[in-house]
Amino acid sequence: MRRLYQPYLDFLELPDVAALFAVAAFARMPISMTALALTLYLRETLGDFAKAGTVVGCYFIAMAMVSPVLGRLIDRIGPRWPLLVTGWLQPLVLSAVFFTAHWQLGYAWVLSTAVLAGLLPPPLTTLTRTLWRHRFSSDGERRMAYALDSVMTELNFTLGPALIGVLVAFANTSVALIVAIVCNFLAFVMFINSRALAYWQAGAKGERHWLGPLTDGRLVVYFCLGFGLTFCLGLFEVSYPAYALALASPGFSGLLIALNGIGSALGGAFYGIWHSNKSLEQQFAIALSVLIIPFVLHAWFPQLPVFMVVAFCGGLAVAPALTSLTLLTTRRAPALYATEALTWSATFIISGLGTGMAAAGYCIETWSLTSTFWLGAGVVATMALCAWLMKQ
C-alpha cells in the first residue's frame, strides 16, 4: 500500500502543489452537486424525469457551447476578468432557475434561465487543467498531476452527490439545490484568492486560425471520444436517481453515484503510478473496453446488492479513461491554443454529459430504466472499437 501513496506524497511536497490541488478539489465539487440537486429538484417541481433531464442537459450543453469562447478569450486577455464576471453572475442566475421552478412560472421560463446559467460558467475546471500544463514541464510530472487530478475529481463526484443525498434524505430537494448554489459561489471565491493564477502563462504568439485547435483532425477525434465517454457518465447521473426512486429511497441516488466515484478514484490512483510499456492510445482503448462490463451487468442484474457492487467496480475504469484521454489531448494540443484546446475538450465533455442526462430521462420515461444501460453499453463498445483502430 505504501508503494501506492508514497509517490503522491513526494509529489505533493513540491512547492504550492498541495495547496493548488486542495483549491482545485473544492472548485470542482459544485459541478456534481449542482447536476444531482438540479435533477432531483426539477423532477419534483416539473413532475417527471424527461423534463428535468432535458433542462439539466440543456444547462450543460449551453455551458459546453460557451467554453471555447471563454478559452479563446482567456488565451488572449488572461483568466482574471472572465473568471470575475462569470463567478458572480452564474450563482445569481442559478438562483433564478430555483425560483422560476418554485413559483411554477412554466417550463419555458425554467428552461430559459437554466440555459442562461449554462452560458455563464466560471472556467474553474478548464483553468485547473491548463494550470497543470503550466506548472509541470516533464511528462512524468504531468502524468502524475492529471492522474491525481482525476482522483480528486472523482472524490468531488463522490462527496458532492453524497452530500446532496444526505440533504435530500434529511431535508428536501430545495435545501439541496440552495446549498449547491452557495458552494458554486464559494468555489469561485476560493479560486480567485488562491495562488493558481500566479502560475498562469500567456499563450504562445503566432498566427491563429479561426477554427483554432479544430484544424487538427486527431484532436477532433479525441474531443468526440470525450463526448461519448461523458455521454455514458451522463446516463449514470440520471439512471442512478431513477433507480433509487423506483426503490422509494431517493437517498440511494447519492450513494450509488458515490460508490461509482470511489471506484473511479481508486482506479485513477493506481493508474497514476502504473508503469506500462503500452502506448497511451492502447491504455485508453483498454479502459473503454473494461467500461462496457458495468453497463451490461446493470441491465442484467437490477437487484440492489449487485447494483451497488457493479456501481463501485464500474467506476474503476472511468478515471483511467479520462486521464489517458486528457494526456492524449494535452500532448497533441499546440502551445498556441493551450487553453482553447482544453476548453474545446471541455465543450465535448460537458455536452456529452448533458446529452447523456437528457437521453437517460427520455429513455426512462419512454421505455425503461434498463434501456439506458443497454444504450450505454452500445456507445462504449463503439468508442472502444474506434480507440483500438486509432492505436494502429
Distance CA 110, CA 39 (A): 12
Domain count, the chain: 1
Segments forming the whole domain that contains residue 112: 12-390
Distance CA 163, CA 145 (A): 26
Segment 236-245, tens digit of pLDDT: 888 888 888 8
| Over residues 309-323, mean pLDDT | 88
- What DSSP line would sit under 152-194, residue for residue? HHHHHHHHHHHHHHHHHHHS-HHHHHHHHHHHHHHHHHHHHTS
Segment 34-49, tens digit of pLDDT: 988 998 899 899 988 7
For residue 296, pLDDT beyond 90 = yes
Structure confidence at residue 185 (pLDDT) = 95
Structure confidence at residue 224 (pLDDT) = 93
Q: Which of 65-74, 88-97, 213-222, 266-275 has the lowest mean pLDDT?
A: 266-275
With respect to residue 130, please indicate whether it lies within any of the assigned structural domains: yes
DSSP H stretches of helix in the chain: 2-12, 17-46, 49-77, 80-102, 107-118, 124-135, 139-170, 173-192, 217-246, 252-273, 280-300, 304-314, 318-332, 338-366, 369-390
Nearest in space to 67 (alpha carbons), one of 223, 232, 235, 261: 223
Structure confidence at residue 256 (pLDDT) = 85
What CATH number does the domain containing 123 carry? 1.20.1250.20
With respect to residue 63, please indicate whether it lies within any of the assigned structural domains: yes
> How far is CA 358 from each of CA 58, 60, 61, 327, 362, rounded to the nearest angstrom?
8, 10, 10, 28, 6
Structure confidence at residue 391 (pLDDT) = 63
> Would you place residue 354 in the very low, low, confident or very high pLDDT band (cuts 50, 70, 90)?
confident
For residue 309, pLDDT beyond 90 = yes
With respect to residue 1, please indicate whether it lies within any of the assigned structural domains: no
Segment 129-178, tens digit of pLDDT: 777 777 777 767 777 787 788 777 767 766 787 788 889 888 899 999 99
| Over residues 74-91, mean pLDDT | 88
For residue 209, pLDDT beyond 80 = no
With respect to residue 7, please indicate whether it lies within any of the assigned structural domains: no
For residue 227, pLDDT beyond 90 = yes
Q: Pseudo-torsion of CA 365, 368, 373, 379, nearest 10°? A: -60
With respect to residue 320, please indicate whether it lies within any of the assigned structural domains: yes
* Residue carrying the nine cell digits 513540491: 14
With respect to residue 20, please indicate whether it lies within any of the assigned structural domains: yes
Structure confidence at residue 312 (pLDDT) = 92
With respect to residue 56, please indicate whether it lies within any of the assigned structural domains: yes
For residue 310, pLDDT beyond 80 = yes
With respect to residue 26, please indicate whether it lies within any of the assigned structural domains: yes
DSSP category for residue 212? G
Distance CA 21, CA 283 (A): 25
DSSP category for residue 99? H
